[in-house]
Amino acid sequence: MRASLFLGALLALLVLLAGAPAVRAVQPLDAGAIPFEDLDLFPHDKLSVEINLEGPILRMVSELTKSEDPDFAKVMAGLKAIRVQVFPLKDKAGAELLRPKIDRAVRWLEDRGWHSAVRAREKGEETYIYLKEADGQIVGLTILSVEPGAEAALINIVGKLDPAELGRIGRNLNIPQLQKAQPRSHCVPETQQ
């Protein structure tokens, strides 16, 4: 009797210790988040850029930039996650190989209530912009972009966001890595308008 009680206590200890990570593991994704791992769009070891920023560090980014760039800080304060994967595409063949995966990702998004805001295809370049809405508010933005001969990208921004605000801030940011992309006439930064 006493021995079984003792064993029971030990078993409870083991269950508690083993069960804690499992409880965390089943936490669902945020409404505006997409599972990059499940979509498996690009080979992980060949990414040229990978960004994984989550809530706590985004809040710290917001605090850090509050005085120098209040608009950027305000956007950061509302976000839960930013994930980016950029995969280099040397030629059109690489883009063609990617096409089935892009189509699958697009289907995944549409099957789960993401609304297509942009589906553009021009000279081999493809751009998909999807938005996820919850309770009348945009809670996620996903961009799939393919530029044959340059790169393909998957971007997921999670949180309460305003796409117009994101676009405005994005256009005004001076990022050297992105300068090779020539902006169209109507996309020049606001300060130059």
Q: Where along the sequence are the contacts to other proteins (CB under 8 A)?
A: 2, 5-6, 8-10, 12-13, 16-17, 20, 24, 49, 51, 53-58, 60-61, 64-65, 72, 75-76, 82, 84, 86, 115-118, 120, 122, 125, 127, 129, 131, 133, 138, 141, 143, 145, 147, 153, 155, 157, 163-164, 166-175, 177-178, 181, 183-184, 186-187, 190
**What does the DSSP 8-state code read for residue 184?**
P
Rounded distance, CA 135 to CA 91, Å?
Answer: 42
C-beta neighbour count of 28 within 10 angstroms: 6
C-beta neighbour count of 85 within 10 angstroms: 20
Which tokens sit at 73? 């800080």
Which tokens sit at 83? 């994930």
Q: Which residue, 10 or 93, has its beta carbon nearer to other proteins?
A: 10
The least distance separating other proteins from the CB of residue 183, rounded to whole angstroms, comes to 5
Helix (H) or strand (E) holding 157: strand 151-159
Q: Which residue, 47 or 155, has its beta carbon nearer to other proteins?
A: 155
Q: Which residue, 24 or 46, has its beta carbon nearer to other proteins?
A: 24
The least distance separating other proteins from the CB of residue 123, rounded to whole angstroms, comes to 11
The least distance separating other proteins from the CB of residue 10, rounded to whole angstroms, comes to 7
DSSP per position, 47-97: -SEEEEEEHHHHHHHHHHHTTT-HHHHHHHHTEEEEEEEEEE--SHHHHHH
The least distance separating other proteins from the CB of residue 86, rounded to whole angstroms, comes to 8
Q: Which residue, 47 or 117, has its beta carbon nearer to other proteins?
A: 117
- Closest C-alpha to 15, from 3, 7, 26: 7
Q: Which residue, 30 or 147, has its beta carbon nearer to other proteins?
A: 147
